[in-house]
């Protein structure tokens, strides 16, 4: 059930988005008049349904169906659509996907006819959920993409966040974990800036679930524990509790901690008693089966597996509607309906007195307040639109940059695998050539060249050319192997300046007296890194800088090396006074075999190897033109992950 509870939580959140007046249940019930059918009474009926959905989803479904019947009696397209949307939401929450899809599609058609874009977007989210639960991910993705488009068109940040979460859920269930994590992080940051606690909780939980289902259980548990301890879900979002405990049970099971798995499984059951969700019950029974099996309780394990299997079969067959129509559920629904009707009758007199008092005492005040509210809302809406546009532009730019970084990383990983194979295949024939040249050289030395000195000289020249070519080919293969090599060394607390100075000594023969090396070392501590890889990185970047400054004979030849500390890591910069890089070449600079040097002067692998070495440190490398030449910036985090 990978990340499926994400969309369940999205649905739970959207249950609370009905655009009604914020009033308590008693006040709503007092206004309900069952003897009257009108648009106002239908709206009130739906307000009651949404108000009780947090604690009584079945009673909410009964109220919504009664509202639909009344809306059809007065032939109101608007309120029929609203009622069908509510029914579809409640069925979606219960896990009755087929019924949910029917009502939601009818509701969406009506909102299109009415031209209500906001309601179209909300309905599309739930339609996408139903396709998602039926494993029709392509259809779900289309619906969620439309939701995001509605959000951008309407400048509605909440809709954009919902679209990001839902799209990421599809990615997670289709194996695109990295892409899912990027979108969830984007949704989390946007939720915090937008000030939506419920959507912030949802996005953070989603990140934990991605870690869990991609095998990073420790990171997942850290997120889940944050949600449990600091976000206080029991108070702020009780509907999320069963999903959170379900994920924590799974994480502890996979870590082999049976005691903690049983603890959170019990907590999940208590949460489900408060907010029933059939798909969550299915996961609960499966976890109980695994716990009992690991604790060697075969009878209990078998009983839980049978319950899991029966529920799983019922949720994945077209006969689920008939199973939902069993006496126990419908009797309960009818009982709730009778209770609501009784409460309505008891409060009719109170309703009359409230309306009379409101009309007499607050009529003129309400009109004045309404005018002031309209002016205030217009001003506030204008300001919010400007702020949302600014936030959207900022986050779209961040998302684009993250996507470009992901594409570059995937490209380099693929090319690394390819070059490793090529280098291996080329190395074998080079060994044969080397052996053959050795034999030829041995024969040449033993041969009697008396009287054939010119032929001997020609033969020696030919052998030297062959050895030079062989040496160059071997150098290319070594560069390829360095480019494609991953790991092989350990992180060591090292003196970065000592590595740089040793490298300068190594390259001393290539640094002429005309080249001025300026060092600005501001890093005052040892740092964790792979010494061999940093050594290779510095060699390649210095070699590139030496070549660059020699291209401008008439200018001062200056190479600057700077180091320093940032909040989360350290940096190294290599600046040179050479010619600027062509703008169209900057994006290709780290691609393997790309070079601006003349044939025979370079393999095109030096900077691509640098990119790989920095990636293995989980850092970033960038290049930019400056007024004085070119600068390479390398940033490496202080906390190194295991490769």
Instruction: Give the whole-number percent of the chain exceeding pLDDT 90.
Output: 9
- Average pLDDT in the 68-86 region? 90
Highest mean pLDDT among 74-83, 135-144, 271-280, 371-380: 74-83
Whole-number pLDDT of residue 378? 85
Q: What is the pLDDT of residues 313-344, one digit of tens each?
A: 765 554 444 433 333 343 344 334 444 555 56
Instruction: Give the whole-number percent of the chain exceeding pLDDT 70.
Output: 81
- Lowest pLDDT segment from 85-99, 142-156, 478-492: 478-492
- Lowest pLDDT segment from 175-184, 358-367, 554-563: 358-367
Q: What is the pLDDT of residues 484-536, one digit of tens each?
A: 544 456 888 989 998 898 888 777 778 888 899 999 999 989 999 988 888 88
Q: Which residues does 630 contact at the CB level (< 8 Å), separation at least 6? A: 548, 575, 576, 578, 579, 580, 581, 623, 624
- Lowest pLDDT segment from 32-46, 180-194, 584-598: 584-598
Look at residue 118 and tell me whether its pLDDT is greater than 50: yes
Q: What is the pLDDT of residues 207-229, one digit of tens each?
A: 888 888 888 888 888 888 888 88
Whole-number pLDDT of residue 309? 80
Whole-number pLDDT of residue 634? 94
Q: Which residues does 75 contact at the CB level (< 8 Å), separation at least 6? A: none
Whole-number pLDDT of residue 315? 59
Whole-number pLDDT of residue 404? 57
**What token pair was written down for 386?**
């400007």
How many Å apart are CA 618 and CA 616, to the nearest integer? 5
- Lowest pLDDT segment from 1-15, 338-352, 540-554: 1-15
Among the listed residues 351, 334, 333, 338, the one whose alpha carbon sits nearest the alpha carbon of residue 26: 351
Pairing type for strands 569-576 and 527-529 reads unpaired
Looking at the domain that runs over 492-637, which CATH code has it been given? 3.30.565.10
**H or E stretch including 632?**
strand 629-637
How many Å apart are CA 172 and CA 161, to the nearest integer? 16
Confidence class for position 631, pLDDT limits 50, 70, 90: very high
Confidence class for position 2, pLDDT limits 50, 70, 90: very low
Look at residue 19 and tell me whether its pLDDT is greater than 50: no
Question: Whole-structure pTM over 0.75, yes or no?
Answer: no
**What average pLDDT is seen over the chain?**
78
The DSSP-derived string for 356-410 is HHHHHHHHHHHHHHHHHHHHHHHHHHHHHHHHHHHHHHHHHHHHHHHHHHHHHHH
Write down the architecture of domain 1-158 according to CATH: Alpha Horseshoe (1.25)
DSSP tag of 174: T
Look at residue 412 and tell me whether its pLDDT is greater than 70: no
Instruction: Identify which has the larger pLDDT, 538 or 427.
Output: 538
Domain borders along the chain are 1-158, 408-484, 492-637
Pairing type for strands 557-565 and 515-521 reads parallel
Same fold, 1-158 and 492-637: no
- Average pLDDT in the 405-421 region? 57
Instruction: Identify which has the larger pLDDT, 405 or 615.
Output: 615
How many Å apart are CA 545 and CA 559, to the nearest integer? 7
């Amino acid at each position: 059930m990978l990340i499926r509870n994400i969309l369940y939580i999205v649905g739970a959140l959207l249950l609370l988005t009905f655009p009604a007046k914020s009033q308590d249940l008693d006040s709503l019930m007092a206004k309900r008049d069952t003897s009257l059918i009108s648009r106002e009474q239908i709206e009130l009926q739906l307000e009651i349904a949404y108000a009780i959905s947090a604690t009584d989803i079945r009673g909410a479904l009964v109220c919504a169906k009664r509202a639909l019947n009344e809306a059809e009696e007065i032939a109101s397209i608007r309120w029929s659509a609203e009622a069908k949307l509510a029914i579809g939401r409640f069925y979606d929450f219960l896990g009755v996907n087929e019924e949910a899809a029917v009502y939601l599609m009818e509701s969406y058609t009506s909102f299109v006819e009415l031209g209500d874009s906001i309601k179209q977007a909300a309905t599309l989210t739930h339609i996408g959920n139903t396709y998602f639960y039926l494993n029709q991910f392509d259809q779900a993705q289309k619906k969620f993409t439309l939701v995001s488009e509605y959000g951008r068109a309407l400048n509605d940040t909440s809709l954009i966040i919902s679209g990001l979460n839902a799209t990421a859920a599809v990615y997670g269930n289709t194996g695109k974990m990295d892409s899912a994590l990027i979108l969830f992080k984007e949704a989390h940051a946007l939720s915090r800036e937008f000030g939506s606690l419920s959507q912030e909780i949802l996005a953070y939980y989603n990140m934990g679930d991605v870690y869990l289902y991609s095998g990073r259980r420790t990171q997942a548990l850290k997120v889940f524990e944050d949600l449990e301890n600091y976000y206080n879900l029991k108070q702020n979002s009780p509907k999320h509790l069963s999903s959170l405990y379900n994920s924590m049970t799974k994480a502890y099971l996979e870590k082999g901690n049976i005691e903690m798995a049983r603890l959170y499984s019990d907590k999940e059951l208590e949460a489900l008693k408060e907010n029933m969700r059939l798909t969550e019950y299915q996961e609960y029974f499966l976890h109980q089966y695994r716990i009992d099996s690991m604790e060697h309780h075969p009878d209990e394990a078998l009983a839980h597996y049978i319950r899991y299997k029966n529920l799983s079969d019922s949720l994945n067959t077209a006969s689920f509607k008939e199973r939902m129509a069993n006496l126990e559920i419908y009797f309960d629904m009818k009982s709730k309906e009778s209770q609501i009707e009784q409460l309505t009758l008891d409060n009719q007199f109170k309703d009359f007195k409230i309306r009379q008092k409101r009309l007499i005492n607050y009529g003129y005040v309400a009109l004045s307040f309404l005018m002031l509210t309209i002016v205030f809302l217009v001003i506030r809406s204008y300001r919010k639109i400007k702020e949302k546009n600014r936030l959207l532009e900022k986050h779209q730019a961040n998302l684009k940059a993250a996507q470009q970084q992901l594409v570059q990383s995937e490209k380099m990983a693929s090319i690394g695998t390819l070059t490793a194979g090529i280098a291996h295949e080329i190395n074998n024939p080079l060994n044969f050539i080397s052996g053959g040249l050795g034999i030829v050289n041995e024969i040449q030395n033993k041969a009697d060249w008396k009287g054939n000195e010119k032929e001997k000289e020609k033969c020696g020249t030919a052998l030297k050319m062959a050895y030079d070519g062989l040496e160059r080919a071997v150098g290319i293969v070594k560069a390829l192997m360095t480019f494609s090599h991953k790991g092989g060394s350990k992180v060591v607390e090292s003196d970065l300046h000592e590595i740089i100075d040793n490298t300068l000594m190594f390259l001393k023969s290539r640094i002429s007296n005309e080249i001025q090396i300026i060092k600005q070392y501001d890093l005052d501590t040892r740092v964790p890194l792979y010494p061999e890889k940093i050594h290779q990185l510095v060699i390649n970047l210095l070699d590139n800088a030496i070549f660059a400054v020699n291209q401008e004979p008439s200018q001062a030849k200056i190479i600057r090396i700077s180091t320093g500390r940032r909040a989360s890591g350290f940096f190294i910069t290599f600046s040179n006074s050479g010619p600027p890089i062509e703008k169209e070449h900057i994006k290709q600079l780290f691609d393997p075999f790309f070079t601006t040097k003349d044939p025979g002067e370079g393999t095109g692998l030096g900077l691509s190897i640098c990119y790989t070495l920095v990636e293995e440190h989980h850092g970033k490398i960038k290049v930019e033109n400056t007024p004085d030449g070119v600068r390479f910036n390398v940033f490496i985090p202080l906390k190194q992950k295991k490769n």
